[in-house]
Amino acid sequence: MIDRKMSGGWYYTNEVWFSPAYQDLFLSSRNLLQCLVSELRWSRKGKIKEFLNNGKVSYTEVDFKKRFSCCSTTYLKARNQLIKVGFIKQTYRGGMCRGDRAQYKLLIVPGILPKHQRWRKYPDKNWEHDIPKPKKQLVGVETQWKKGQSGRKTKATLL
């Protein structure tokens, strides 16, 4: 099991908890949101809590699969749903080499301006267009039929 500090915690405001965005989340999406929140690091300057790594928060698919005994598809669906409803925003894609992680910005933490809190606009607007698409993993693009072309041969081969 992954060794995470369990003494900390996070307080969800009633605005977040009862929002249509949060209520539409799957259990796996709520779990991933909590994992991302637990990765936040902060410091206190007087009464103001400043988040040091918001925008660079990451929680890998491998860690999520170990923690919750699920498959890769569950992680991807949870991440995509969090992006769609506006709780997170991907700031860096990752995956270029070993150890290169995707990074996210949490939009529910204090200090985020209301105009940047996408989850507040969720039922009327979603952010499906921000969900990352697979990079050029199309197989057989060169051998596909072109527009207007058919599979029939135009000349008979038998005489």
Looking at the domain assignment, is residue 77 inside a domain? Answer: yes
Instruction: Specify the pLDDT at position 56.
Output: 92
Instruction: Specify the pLDDT at position 78.
Output: 96
pTM: predicted TM-score of the whole model, two decimal places: 0.79
Give 35's contacts (C-beta < 8 A, 6+ positions apart): 59, 63, 64, 67
Instruction: Specify the pLDDT at position 45.
Output: 81
Q: CATH number of the domain at 80, please.
A: 1.10.10.10
Looking at the domain assignment, is residue 32 inside a domain? Answer: yes
Looking at the domain assignment, is residue 146 inside a domain? Answer: no
DSSP secondary structure code for residue 140 in this structure? S
- Taking CA atoms, 34 is separated from 2, 64, 74, 103, in Å, by 15, 11, 15, 15
Q: Which domain holds residue 116?
A: 14-130
Looking at the domain assignment, is residue 6 inside a domain? Answer: no
Looking at the domain assignment, is residue 110 inside a domain? Answer: yes
Number of domains in the chain: 1
Looking at the domain assignment, is residue 22 inside a domain? Answer: yes
Tell me the pLDDT of the chain (159 aa) as tens digits: 455 566 677 888 899 999 999 999 999 999 999 999 988 888 888 887 888 889 899 999 999 999 999 999 999 999 999 999 999 999 998 888 888 899 999 999 888 888 999 999 998 999 998 988 876 666 666 777 676 666 666 666 666
Looking at the domain assignment, is residue 116 inside a domain? Answer: yes
- Taking CA atoms, 17 is separated from 5, 12, 29, 84, in Å, by 24, 6, 13, 17
Looking at the domain assignment, is residue 51 inside a domain? Answer: yes
